Structure 1
Amino acid sequence: MAEGHIRREAVSDQLFAVLRDRILGGELPAGAALTPERELAAGFGVNRHAVREAVKRLQQARLVEVSHGGRTQVLDWRRTAGLDLAVGIAAADTGPTVQDIARDALEMRACIGADAARLCALRCSARTAAEITAAAERHAHTGPDLTELDGTYVAWWRLIIEGSGNIAYLLAFNSLVDGMIPVADVPADLGAAEILDVEAHRRLAAHIAAREAGAAEELARELLTRSVPSAPRGCEGVRR
């Protein structure tokens, strides 16, 4: 493959990004052998330590597998990589687009939120249910500043996620809130339909307090899917 010199600062990070993009874009397909360390170093004009660091990161991301004999094989990232790769996919110049990943993240957000609401209704303490109800009222009386509204909305959902008792949901929520999993800017009309529906928030809090798990799940899913942009998509599964 054609190589080129890259900037000297953080060379291992840059090399990792270049190789990651080639794997995600299919230029380095699953099953292919990664170019040997010596050739990568010469092709990019970097030292072998930088190459080893980049390959180590690829291995940690489950993009490649290093055999005992030293051969490095490209893996099928759709089968091996974890959720943390979403950041890399969004930053890549090839492969799934930022819009694709962002929409997928919003769909995941709706699924997690719906099930978290169900679990919260089943598991949370009476104190937590009361806090969720109170947080819904605080959100209802916040505004009109959208940044402030978004803050109270996120705080309300954090109570629900924590009340679900599911640590995996909580970590995913943190990643979404912190931007580690990229979510595109939601169109204003869609975001408003979700954030400004204070009556839906009150009803959801009431379902949780009343231990109505099914109703809580259904309403949470309906509320959160309002922010998912509608876009035609085929049935081919994960885009290749």
Structure 2
Amino acid sequence: MSLTPLPRASLSEGVFEQLRDRILADQMTHGETLPSERVLAEQLGVNRGAVREGLKRLQQAQLVRVRHGGATEVLDWRRSAGLELLPHLLVRSDGQLHTAAARGIVALRQALAPSVAAAAARRAGGDTADRLDEALRALQAATDAAQRQEQALRYWSVLVDGSNNLGFRLAFNALEQTYRPIWALLRPVLDAEFRDTATLEALNAAVRDGRSADAQRLACAHIEIGSKAMEALLDAHDAADQGAH
């Protein structure tokens, strides 16, 4: 295994990122044993403390485990890792968009949004509905695509809060962190969804009245606008990628 020496700044972060990226690219496979701390330190050009800290972060991310005797084994990250890896999966090690991962994220978004809306409606609180109305007014008042994007994100954050579900909040946070690196790319793709405030008005009314089935249906219809646009973008990216090869 050949590794690239790291600059002196943020050494443990560099250890973590380089090994993480290789594991996620399947350049280090499930069951493989990593070199010792001493060997890794020599290959990366860092001290053993930086290697130890980097390995600790890999273990916390459920990418490796330390076996009895101190050997570090690569895990099957598809079965062991959590949502916090989503931002690192979206872009491949060569800098290109990982479309398979992106499609999975689109599907997660499609599944999450209706469930969040239904959960918020089941709690049917006036405070949540009032905050949703305020967030929707801010979205409607946005004067350009960048503002609409930020206000749409705020709207959904309020809806997630209204669901009072910690799992939904953590999944939403992971999706936001995943989208941020390609935020500008997604802006024109999702703008038709951001403009669909009529559906959100109906969704707000469903949440206020406690109509969970209606809230679920409306959220699904709203999110589908952006999902179709993102799928078209990914199809075009795949076609271009195949043409280049």
- Following superposition, the deviation at residue 187 of structure 1 comes to 5.9
C-alpha separation in 2, matches of 1:159 and 1:33: 45
Q: Distance in 1 between matches of 2:78 and 2:96?
A: 11
Report if the CA contact (8 A) 1:89-1:95 is conserved. Answer: no
Counting aligned pairs with the same residue, the percent is: 33
- Tell me how far apart the structure 1 counterparts of residues 201 and 76 of structure 2 sit (CA, whole Å): 45
CA deviation vs aligned residue, 1:94-114 (integer Å, no higher than 9, x gap): 699444434433332232221
Q: How is 1:155-166 mapped onto 2 (pairs within 5 angstroms)?
A: 155-166=154-165
Q: 1:113-172, CA deviations, whole angstroms, 9 ceiling, x for partnerless residues?
A: 2111111111131332243245434433x1322233333323322222111111221233
Partner of 1:152: 151
TM-score (norm 2): 0.81
2:50 is aligned with 1:25: no
Residue of structure 2 equivalent to 1:235: none
Of the structure 1 ranges 131-140 and 208-217, higher mean CA displacement relative to structure 2 is found in: 131-140
| Equivalent residues of 2:88, 2:178 under 8 A apart | no
How far has the Cα of 1:181 moved from its partner?
5.5
Structure 2 equivalent of residue 199 of structure 1: 198
5+ residue gaps, structure 2: 236-245
State how far apart, in whole Å, the 1-side matches of 2:135 and 2:43 are. 57
Cα distance between partner residues in 2 of 1:43 and 1:153: 46
Contact 1:107 1:225 survives alignment (8 Å): no
Task: Write the mapping of 1:1-240 to structure 2, written as runs, cut at 5 A.
Answer: 1-90=1-90, 93=93, 97-140=97-140, 142-177=141-176, 179=177, 182=180, 184=182, 185-186=185-186, 188=188, 190-228=189-227, 229-230=230-231, 231=234
TM-score by length of 1: 0.83
Q: Which amino acid aligns with 2:66?
A: V
Q: Which amino acid aligns with 2:170?
A: L
Normalized per residue, the structure richer in helix is: 2
Q: CA deviation at 1:75?
A: 0.3
Matched position secondary structure for 1:222: helix
Alignment partners' CA distance in 1, 2:91 and 2:108: 19
Per-residue Cα deviation, 1:68-102 (whole angstroms, up to 9, x for no partner) = 31111110000001111123334551699444434
Q: Which SS does the other structure have where 1:5 is aligned?
A: coil
CA distance in 2: counterparts of 1:183 and 1:210, whole angstroms = 37
Matched positions, count? 229
Q: Which amino acid aligns with 2:194?
A: I
Which stretch shifts more, 77-86 or 42-51?
42-51
Kept after mapping to 2: 8 A contact 1:105/1:181: no
Q: Could you tell me which amino acid in structure 2 is paired with residue 197 of structure 1? A: D
Alpha-carbon offset, residue 4 of structure 1: 4.1
Gaps of 5+ in 1: 233-240
Shift of 1:227: 1.5
Q: Distance in 2 between matches of 1:40 and 1:120?
A: 49
Q: Relative to structure 1, is the Cα distance of residues 64 and 131 closer, same or farther in structure 2, using a 3 angstrom cutoff? A: closer
Distance in 2 separating the partners of 1:181 and 1:65: 29
Q: Which moved more, 1:89-98 or 1:43-52?
A: 89-98
